[in-house]
């Protein structure tokens, strides 16, 4: 023994080594996961984890399959079209500086990365602007974190198109139900936390875990790891460049959800039921939550079918006003020079998100002026920061008044709007929209979704590759490995 060695420390190490041998001898080859699965499981957790474990092999109704294809395609289009915007450039820069390696696809790039970095980057691409889908009931943007996490897991495990579609659908079923159980709108308004990040993390975790083929016990641990990573605060509304927002809404939850699934797949164990018992998730986040909402309607109410696809590539609260304005313009052409005033009414909670913002795609007054000048609201116009200083736009924008409406607030979470245009000759033109185009009450058919996605992707991927990608997603049941689909999302 070295003269510097403490005899007590040496004896302690020897004792521990001996104890380890004894434990190993007693336990034999019993897997670690079997030793950890000793907690009490609530009926809600038992039902939810069983549903999650069976999702990869469970057939879905035809209408749900069609809806899932639309949302997968729409999210791919958001990633591709977002690739040239500032948040995407920041995400690509992060990936390049990170110094990692891997074969996971970075969308609209020739570079690849490890799966966690790919999920983060592709998530930020998907929410580089306001093109991606939204679930008004849960106050989340599910596609932006769920599809990137599922894609990275799909590439890693080489799953086929059918399992990928079912994994994505499961993500929509799980993530939004978490914030639905919180009573999402009051929670968003008073809790100072980001419902978008929370729902996204749980949704991404569920989708990635399904792609990884985890069983019910492992699904419970995945939910535990997702809960431990649940984060995001409402300060994202102060972000003026959309970079932090893209991280909070999509990049962070995509990475966190995938992390949860890969940790458990690698053998990590956890708490059997993070949703009940001492110091559980809901005690920490929403003590008044309704836990039964986590399993309400599972297998009958599919959140992917209740999630909105945006007709206009702008923030969700601006969708209804642009719908109303478009309706007016279809009935009558308007010379912008004849406009005396434009009054737009939306709910209070919607108005504060889009009132005179610095970014064109989430500034209601600016986008209304753009549609009146252009006759439509294109992706290019919604991202043309320079036009926010155009004197012609500013003169018309000054005539647009946003009025928060008590009447429309009572309709929340439905997005609704009333637009009233007064002309110089005294004519009043108005329209009221209660069912926004792209919602479950007024859905966009396949052809309209395809047109939107083609317009967004062709400038980046090229017309031919875009057509192949669209056809492949719409026939995803025939895809043998999602690695082939990921290849179509790369630049050649």
Residue 23 has pLDDT above 70, yes or no: no
What is the average pLDDT across 118-139? 96
Residues ≥6 apart with Cβ < 8 Å to 119: 104, 148, 149, 151, 152, 204, 251, 254, 255, 257, 258
pLDDT of residue 274: 98
User: What percentage of the chain exceeds 70 in pLDDT?
Assistant: 92
Residue 296 confidence class, pLDDT cut points 50, 70, 90: very high
User: What percentage of the chain exceeds 90 in pLDDT?
Assistant: 87
What are the pLDDT digits (tens) for 195-249?
Answer: 999 999 999 999 999 999 999 999 999 999 999 999 999 999 899 899 999 999 9
What are the pLDDT digits (tens) for 260-288?
Answer: 999 999 999 999 999 999 999 999 999 99
What is the average pLDDT across 328-349? 96
Cα–Cα distance for residue pair 364/23, rounded to 1 Å: 66
pTM for this entry: 0.87
The candidate with the shortest Cα–Cα distance to 123, out of 82, 166, 73, is 82
What are the pLDDT digits (tens) for 406-438?
Answer: 999 999 888 899 999 999 999 999 999 999 999
Q: What is the mean pLDDT of the chain?
A: 92
What are the b/e assignments for 350-362, b being 16+ CB within 10 Å?
bbebbeebebbbb
Residue 337 has pLDDT above 50, yes or no: yes
Query: Is the peptide bond between 207 and the residue preceding it cis, with omega within 30 degrees of 0?
Result: no
What is the average pLDDT across 64-86? 97
Measured in degrees and rounded to the nearest 5, phi and psi for residue 381 equal -65, -35
Of residues 21 and 405, more confidence is placed in 405
Distance of CA 190 to the CA centre of its chain: 22
What are the pLDDT digits (tens) for 145-187?
Answer: 999 999 999 999 999 999 999 999 999 999 999 999 999 989 9
Residue 475 confidence class, pLDDT cut points 50, 70, 90: very high
What is the average pLDDT across 94-105? 91
Say how many Å lie between the first and final Cα of the chain, rounded. Answer: 63
Max CA separation in the chain (angstroms): 102
Measured in degrees and rounded to the nearest 5, phi and psi for residue 423 equal -95, 165
Cα–Cα distance for residue pair 87/405, rounded to 1 Å: 33
What is the average pLDDT across 361-376? 97
What domains, with CATH codes, occur in the chain? 43-306 (1.10.4100.10), 316-433 (3.30.1330.120)
């Amino acid at each position: 023994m070295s003269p510097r060695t403490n005899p007590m420390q040496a004896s302690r190490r020897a004792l521990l080594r001996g104890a380890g041998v004894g434990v190993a001898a007693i336990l034999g080859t019993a897997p670690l996961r079997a030793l950890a699965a000793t907690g009490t499981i609530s009926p809600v957790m038992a039902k939810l984890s069983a549903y999650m474990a069976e999702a990869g092999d469970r057939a879905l109704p035809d209408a749900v399959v069609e809806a899932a294809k639309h949302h997968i395609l729409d999210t791919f289009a958001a990633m591709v079209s977002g690739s040239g915007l500032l948040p995407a450039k920041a995400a690509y820069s992060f990936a390049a500086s990170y110094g990692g390696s891997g074969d996971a696809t970075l969308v609209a790039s020739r570079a690849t990365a490890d799966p966690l970095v790919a999920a983060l980057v592709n998530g930020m691409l998907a929410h580089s602007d306001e093109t991606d889908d939204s679930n008004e009931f849960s106050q989340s943007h599910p596609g932006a974190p769920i599809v990137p996490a599922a894609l990275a897991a799909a590439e890693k495990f080489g799953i086929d198109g059918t399992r990928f579609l079912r994994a994505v659908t499961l993500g929509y079923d799980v993530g939004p139900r978490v914030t639905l159980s919180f009573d999402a709108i009051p929670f968003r308004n008073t809790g100072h936390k980001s419902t978008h990040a929370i729902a996204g993390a749980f949704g991404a975790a569920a989708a990635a875990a399904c792609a990884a083929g985890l069983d019910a016990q492992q699904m419970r641990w995945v939910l535990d790891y997702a809960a431990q990573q649940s984060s995001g605060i409402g300060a994202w509304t102060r972000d003026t460049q959309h970079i932090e927002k893209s991280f909070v809404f999509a990049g962070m939850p995509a990475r966190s959800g995938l992390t949860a699934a890969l940790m458990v797949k690698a053998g990590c164990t956890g708490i059997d039921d993070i949703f009940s018992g001492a110091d559980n998730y809901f005690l920490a986040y929403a003590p008044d939550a309704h836990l039964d909402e986590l399993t309400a309607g599972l297998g009958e109410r599919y959140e992917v079918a209740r999630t909105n696809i945006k007709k206009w590539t702008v923030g969700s609260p601006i969708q209804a006003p642009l719908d109303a304005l478009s309706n007016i313009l279809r009935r009558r052409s308007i010379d912008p020079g004849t406009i005396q005033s434009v009054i737009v009414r939306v709910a209070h909670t919607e108005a504060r998100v889009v009132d005179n913002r610095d970014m064109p795609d989430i500034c209601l007054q600016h986008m209304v002026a753009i549609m009146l000048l252009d006759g439509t609201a294109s992706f290019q116009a919604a991202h043309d920061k320079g036009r926010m200083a155009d004197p012609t736009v500013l003169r018309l924008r000054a005539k647009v008044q946003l009025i928060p409406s008590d009447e429309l607030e009572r309709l929340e979470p439905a997005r609704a709007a009333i637009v009233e245009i007064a002309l110089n000759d005294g004519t009043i033109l108005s329209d009221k929209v209660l069912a926004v185009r792209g919602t479950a009450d007024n859905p966009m058919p396949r052809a309209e979704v395809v047109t939107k996605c083609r317009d967004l992707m062709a400038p980046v991927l090229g017309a031919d590759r875009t057509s192949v990608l669209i056809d492949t997603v719409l026939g995803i049941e025939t895809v043998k490995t999602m690695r082939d689909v990921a290849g179509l999302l790369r630049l050649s």
